[in-house]
């Protein structure tokens, strides 16, 4: 079994301030980790992914995330947010379970950037 926890349902932050969106996961097997962004009335877009190699991964729009195996975390960060970053962000884990790839999403974190 696998699960994803996003403890913060909403995160308000002022424009140009840094932000961190937290994600913790649990899984009995090796995982791949993802962050997706959902803008209002749209589907999900991939922000970044961790498959292997360097634990610090960079994605689109200036976001980055760090995989920490010992803490089973994959927190998303951005040093300076823009109004356009206002959206909902989903952390996801993907692993091989029962012979196929299974994806589990967190409950999402709504990022509200305040002018």
Phi-psi region of 55 (alpha: psi -120 to 50; beta: other; left: phi over 0): alpha
C-alpha distance from residue 72 to each of 3, 13, 24, 46 (Å): 11, 25, 6, 20
Q: Does residue 100 interact with another protein by CB under 8 A?
A: yes
**Of positions 78, 90, 111, 113, contacts another protein by CB under 8 A:** 90
Closer to another protein by Cβ: residue 15 or 49: 49
Q: Does residue 36 interact with another protein by CB under 8 A?
A: yes
Nearest one of 77, 81, 26 to 55, comparing CA atoms: 77
CA gap 52, 27 in Å, rounded: 16
Residue 52's contacts (CB-CB under 8 Å, 6 or more residues apart) are none
Q: Does residue 108 interact with another protein by CB under 8 A?
A: yes
**Of positions 26, 45, 68, 80, contacts another protein by CB under 8 A:** 45
**Of positions 46, 56, 83, 114, contacts another protein by CB under 8 A:** 46
Question: Which parts of this chain interact with another protein (CB under 8 A)?
Answer: 6, 9, 32, 34, 36, 41-46, 49, 51, 90, 94, 96, 98-108
């Amino acid at each position: 079994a696998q699960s994803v926890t996003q403890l913060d349902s909403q995160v308000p932050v002022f424009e140009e301030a840094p932000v961190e969106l937290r994600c913790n996961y649990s899984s009995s097997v090796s995982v791949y980790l993802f962050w997706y962004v959902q803008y209002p009335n749209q589907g999900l877009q991939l922000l970044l992914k961790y498959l292997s190699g360097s634990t610090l991964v960079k994605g689109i729009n200036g976001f980055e995330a760090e995989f920490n195996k010992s803490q089973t975390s994959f927190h998303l960060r951005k040093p300076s947010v823009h109004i356009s970053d206002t959206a909902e962000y989903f952390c996801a884990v993907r692993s091989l379970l029962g012979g196929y790839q299974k994806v589990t999403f967190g409950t999402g974190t709504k990022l509200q950037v305040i002018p």
